[in-house]
Amino acid sequence: MSRRLIPLLVLAAVVGVVVSLAAWGFLELIHQIQVGLFTDLPEELGYDHGAPAWFYVVVLGIAGLLTAAAIDRLPGEGGHVPAEGLKIGGDPVQPIELPGIILAAFATIGGGLVLGPEAPLIALGAGLGVFAIRSLKKDTPAEAQAVMAAAGSIAAMALLFNSPIIAAVILLEALGLDREKLPLILLPGLLAAGIGSLISIGMGTLTGLSTSAYALGTLTLPTLDQPAVADFAWTFVLAVAVAALVFVVMRLGLVAHVFARRKPYLVLPAAAIVVALLAVVFHEWTGKGIEEVLFSGQDALTGITAGAATWPISALLLLLLMKGLAWGISLGNFRGGPTFPALFIGAAAGILASHLPGFDLTAAVAVGIGAGAVSVLRLPLSCVVLASLLVSKSGAGSEPLIIVGVVVAYLVTIGLDQTVGAARDASPAAPTPASAGQ
């Protein structure tokens, strides 16, 4: 094992540097695209108090057209369909597929659609890892390629989640490695992520660009040292509700994808325009920002939790409806990750649930985030770790609630999957021509 591992560790260190620089540039460029499109461009057009509604319709429509071109014209179809969940493992992304994946992500995420950057980043890290090891030896064994792909993915996710630990836990739980293969994947991956994190910190210091522009940070919530009985009781209700809501949204995404595959150049721009209109309607009815519905929710997550007291129940209900529809449409038509919108939806549902008698705000938000994440990722341990770290500044009182909420939401999601699958299998098939007249 040691003889095989040392060369991989050396290469993993190099991959960690390269992938982190590439991921840093990718995330920073997406941030600059969003700022340029939705802040700088309206100001240059003379709209100092915010862009008009037609502006969002036009920009998102063009983003839909560009995404369709990247999916249809370039290898790799822009990456996997986010309505199918976050794909980790399997055959590594091939380097030739990276241009299409990156361009589709720039158009989708930079253009304001409701998806996050984690899936393109995983693909970017994996593709660069494979490219690195193939550059040294073209006939590299598939196992070694998989190790470098995993190391690259961990390094990229570490930059996004602002933690190598979260990235490693997500990847290892998703791969389900046995004791023999665990060191072979874990050690190169952690080394790549650790060195990559140092590079990202150095780049932020050198350029003056803050990682808060793209990295997921800890939320500011009231302190909760010990949960109450009511918190535990409402945790079950909230976890079931969030799991059901996310399940419906994911199913909407799968249905939308059926239409998107047929005529992408027509369906994707139309879908993007619908997303824009949902955001405009939400803004007009509530007075809240259009960005609450658009984008992945990654940046808005901090704001909505810090300003939870300013959100009336009616606005929260409308947010869940409009954001959920926009997310479902984006899941089936565009390219990106499903995780960050799930975190935002879970947090919004938690703020809404905090109006229930005896349900603490911090507890509700923590449970909502964990339940939303596991309903998409289907990785209970990873989602417990992720939700716990996001609310870690608020004390340890929410951690047992997060565990309960994640387990309940996971079981509900699996149960809904099995129920829908059984109903589909039991439905009568359409009559064939040979039997139609019998």
Predicted confidence at residue 48, as pLDDT, reads: 81
Predicted confidence at residue 401, as pLDDT, reads: 96
Query: Residue 261, CB half-sphere, CA atoms under 13 Å: how many?
Result: 9
Predicted confidence at residue 180, as pLDDT, reads: 63
Q: How many degrees, rounded to 5, is the angle at CA 435 between CA 429 and CA 438?
A: 120
Predicted confidence at residue 356, as pLDDT, reads: 95
Q: How far is CA 97 from CA 16, 20, 119, 150, in A?
A: 20, 19, 14, 17
- Nearest residue to 363 (alpha-carbon basis) of 318, 389, 396: 396
Q: What is the pLDDT of residues 261-279, one digit of tens each?
A: 989 999 999 999 999 999 9
CA 135 – CA 86 distance, rounded (Å): 28
Query: Which domains, from first to last, does the chain contain?
Result: 2-213 (1.10.3080.10), 229-425 (no CATH)
Predicted confidence at residue 416, as pLDDT, reads: 93
Predicted confidence at residue 21, as pLDDT, reads: 85
Predicted confidence at residue 434, as pLDDT, reads: 40
Predicted confidence at residue 432, as pLDDT, reads: 42
User: Quick one: how far is CA 6 from the chain centroid?
Assistant: 33
Task: Say how many C-beta atoms besides its own lie within 10 A of residue 425's C-beta.
Answer: 7
Q: How far is CA 95 from CA 19, 71, 117, 121, in A?
A: 13, 16, 18, 13
Q: What is the pLDDT of residues 307-316, one digit of tens each?
A: 999 999 999 9
The ranges of the chain with pLDDT < 70 are 1-4, 89-90, 176-184, 196-197, 199-217, 424-425, 427-438
pTM over 0.85: yes
CA 241 – CA 224 distance, rounded (Å): 23
Predicted confidence at residue 406, as pLDDT, reads: 97
Predicted confidence at residue 205, as pLDDT, reads: 54
